[in-house]
Structure 1
Amino acid sequence: MYKIYGFGLSNYYNLVKLVLLEKGLPFEEIPVFPPARPDFLLKSPMGKIPGLEVDDGRYLSESQVILEYLEETHPEPSLYPGDPFTRAKTRELMRIIELYLELPARRLYPAAFFGGSVSEEISGEVRAQLEKACAAFGHLARFDAYLSGETLSLADLAAVVHLPVVSLATRRVYGENLLAILPELAGYLARLQERPCVQAVMAGQKQASTQFIKGSR
């Protein structure tokens, strides 16, 4: 049985958890909260969440590394399209989502979710980055079925985990959802959120959020 280390407020923890669920793999959740304790660094040397124990005493960190490992060791059901070009396009979409949408938006999270603030300079920089990335994402994505074709892929799981958080953060900081320029996105995400595995992850995220709020009072 796998052991996944982290907590349900982490998008990347939730992405790995979602892949484990979609592949039907048994796992145990081990709560880990930042700042990482020294013993966690033996499992995730950079202290990043999530970490995955693949068996007794063997660990992986970095979410993309973990996802590739799970896909290689448990190829069915596959979360990559069959042909090499479409697999590459799936990875391209994931890069857009994680590097150019979620990562810049993370600079808004202190103000959006934790009662902090963001400077006008940073707010402007992030807005410009997100607007450019939204256009790029809209150019690459397909919303009629799944992002890169007719079957569910890792790009879809990344989208359903990351993009609602980006949308909420921009709405709270800018007073508008910057992803709303993609009119088909909301319906696409709603369809994904009907999946039982996605609903299970969302329930865990909600529970983690409630626990965090209680703990911060």
Structure 2
Amino acid sequence: MISLYGFDVSNYYNMIKLALAYKEVDYNRVNIYPNQSPEFLALSPIGKVPMLETTEGCLCETSVILEYIDSQYPTPSLYPSDAFAKAKVKELAKMCELYLELPARRCFPEVFFGQQVSLETKKETKRALIKGIEALARVAKFNPYLAGNEFTAADIFFLYSADMASIVAKKTFDIDLLVMAPGAKELLLLLKEMPLVQQISEDRKIADIEFKKYIASLG
């Protein structure tokens, strides 16, 4: 049986949790925070999560793990069989990660943990988020899902990237980021209404208490 390493507050960990739940795959859960211990580095080369342990070895990087899971447990599929359509799903997922989640992450310390972020960082983040959502609007179909009428891996990335990016944009810049991509708000609501997503959200709320204590302990 495969084992998933990570913790319930991590966006990327929850992406894998959703994929496994969607496919009804049984797996072991190993609760662990990113760390640089020799033991964990032997499994995850840079010490981050999620990390998937299989009978053949370990895998890291969320997109890689998702593709592996889809290959090993093909039904229901998270990627189209057509080569170009599959590439478009990967493109959309990568856009969500690079142009929404990663820029927003720069302001996470202030938005979620009460720390200070520089004015320059905020300006750069705002520019990047607006540019990113406008780019996504040019490519995504929102019909009703990101790549069309089927739920795919792109929607998993969108759910956990756009949600955090929109919170950062609202709290930091007082802008409604998703209104810049018609259909984005509706898709986010649709995804949040999935029972699997709601369960993961509840898990996150419970885990968030311990995670904040852990962050505080780091000084």
The two structures have a TM-score, normalised by structure 1, of 0.93
Kept in 2, the 8 Å contact 1:7–1:31? The answer is yes
Q: Residue in 1 aligned with 2:194?
A: 195
- How many Å separate the matches in 2 of 1:203 and 1:104? 26
Larger displacement relative to structure 2 (71-80 or 203-212): 203-212
- How many Å separate the matches in 1 of 2:181 and 2:136? 9
Identity of aligned residues (%): 39
Q: How does 1:122-133 map to 2 (within 5 A)?
A: 122-133=121-132
**RMSD (Å), alpha carbons:** 1.6
Q: Residue in 2 aligned with 1:13?
A: 13
Kept in 1, the 8 Å contact 2:142–2:148? The answer is no
Offset, 1:214: 4.9
Q: Residue in 2 aligned with 1:25?
A: 25
Offset, 1:170: 1.7
Offset, 1:192: 1.2
* Unmatched tracts of structure 1, length 5 or more: none
Kept in 2, the 8 Å contact 1:22–1:197? The answer is yes
- How many Å separate the matches in 2 of 1:171 and 1:96? 20
- How many Å separate the matches in 2 of 1:141 and 1:17? 24
Q: How does 1:1-217 map to 2 (within 5 A)?
A: 1-55=1-55, 58-214=57-213, 216=216
Kept in 2, the 8 Å contact 1:108–1:170? The answer is no
- How many Å separate the matches in 1 of 2:192 and 2:160? 10
Q: Call closer, same or farther: CA 1:36–1:180 in 2, change over 3 Å.
A: farther
Aligned length: 216
Letter in 2 for 1:134: I
Offset, 1:211: 2.4
1:172 aligns to what SS in structure 2?
A: helix
The two structures have a TM-score, normalised by structure 2, of 0.92
